[in-house]
A and B are shown apart, each in its own frame.
Chain A
Amino acid sequence: MEGLVGNLTLGFATALSWQNLGLAFIGCLVGTLVGVLPGVGPIATITMLLPITFGIDPVGALIMLAGIYYGAQYGGSTTAILVNIPGEATAVVTTLDGHQMARQGRAGVALGIAALGSFFAGCVATLVIAGLAQPLTRLALLFGPAEYFSLMVMGLAFAVVLARGPILKAIGMILVGVLLSTVGTDLDTGEERLTFGYGPLADGIDFAVLAMGIFGFAEVIRNLDYQETRSVVVRAIGRILPSLADLARSAAPILRGTLVGATLGILPGNGAVLGPFASYTLEKRLARDPSRFGRGAIEGVAGPESANNAGAQTSFIPLLTLGIPPNAVMALMVGAMTIHGIVPGPMVMTKNPTLFWGMIASMWIGNLMLLVINLPLIGLWVKFLTVPYRLMYPAILVFSCIGIYSVRNAPEDVIFTAVFAIVGYALIKLGFEAAPLLLGYVLGRLMEENLRRALSIARGDLMTFVARPVSAGLLAVAVIVLVAAVVPAVRKGREEAFKEE
Chain B
Amino acid sequence: MRVRNPQDLLAGLVLVGVALVALWAAGSLSQGRLGAVGPGMMPRATAVLVGAVGALVVLSAFVAPGPRLERWSVRGPFFVCLALVAFAVTIRWMGLLVAGPLVAVISSAASPETRIKEILVFGIAVTAFSIALFKYLLNLPIPVLVIPGVIVL
Tell me the A residues contacting B by CB distance below 8 Å.
51-52, 54-55, 166, 168-169, 171-172, 175-176, 178-179, 182, 186, 188-189, 191, 193-194, 196, 217, 220-221, 224-225, 228, 388-391, 393-395, 397-399, 401-402, 405-406, 409, 411-415, 417-418, 421-422, 425-426, 429-432, 444, 448, 451-452, 455-456, 459-462
Contacts and interface: CB of A to CB of B under 8 A. Distances in A.
Interface in B38-54: 38-40, 42-43, 46-47, 49-50, 53-54
A363 B123 CA distance: 36
Given A224-B76, A402-B134, A405-B142, A394 B123 contact: yes
B145 interface: no
Contacts of B29: 186, 191, 193
A460 B35 contact: yes
A418 B142 contact: no
A408 B135 CA distance: 16
Nearest to B100: A398
Interface in B127-147: 127, 130, 133-134, 138-142
Chain A interface secondary structure, helix, strand, loop or mixed?
Answer: helix
Contacts of A186: 29, 39
Interface in B14-36: 14-15, 18, 22, 25-26, 29, 33-36
B56 A168 contact: yes
Contact of A412 (B8, B57, B88, B114): B88
Nearest to A395: B126
B141 to A, nearest CB: 6
Given A52-B138, A54-B138, A421-B77, A172 B123 contact: no
B18 A394 contact: no
Interface of B: 7-8, 10-11, 14-15, 18, 22, 25-26, 29, 33-40, 42-43, 46-47, 49-50, 53-54, 56-57, 60, 66-67, 69-70, 72-73, 75-77, 80-81, 83-85, 87-89, 91-92, 96, 99-100, 103-105, 107-108, 110-111, 113-115, 118-119, 122-123, 126-127, 130, 133-134, 138-142
Given A225-B76, A460-B35, 16 more contacts: A55-B140, A168-B56, A169-B8, A179-B43, A189-B38, A393-B107, A394-B83, A394-B123, A397-B80, A397-B83, A398-B127, A415-B88, A421-B81, A430-B10, A430-B14, A431-B66
A51 B87 contact: no
Contacts of A193: 26, 29, 39-40, 43
Nearest to B15: A172
Nearest to B50: A175
A422 B49 contact: no
A394 B115 CA distance: 13
B119 to A, nearest CB: 7
A211 to B, nearest CB: 15
B106 to A, nearest CB: 9
Contact of B36 (A393, A432, A460): A460
A394 B49 contact: no
Contacts of B14: 426, 430
B25 A194 contact: yes
A413 B50 CA distance: 26
B113 A401 contact: no
Given A394-B123, A395-B104, A452 B84 contact: no
B57 A179 contact: no
A421 B84 contact: yes
Contact of A455 (B34, B99, B110): B34
B140 A54 contact: yes
Contact of A429 (B57, B72, B88, B92): B72
Contacts of B33: 460
B114 A172 contact: no
A196 B25 contact: yes
Contact of A394 (B26, B70, B96, B103): B103
From A178, A189, A194, A225, name the one whose CB has the most chain B CB atoms within 10 angstroms.
A194
Contacts of B134: 51-52, 402, 406
Given A179-B47, A193-B43, A388-B113, A169 B57 contact: yes
Contacts of B60: 168
A413 B91 CA distance: 12
A176 B50 contact: yes
B36 A417 contact: no
Contacts of B70: 429
Contacts of B119: 390-391, 394
B74 to A, nearest CB: 11
A52 B136 CA distance: 12
Nearest to A172: B53
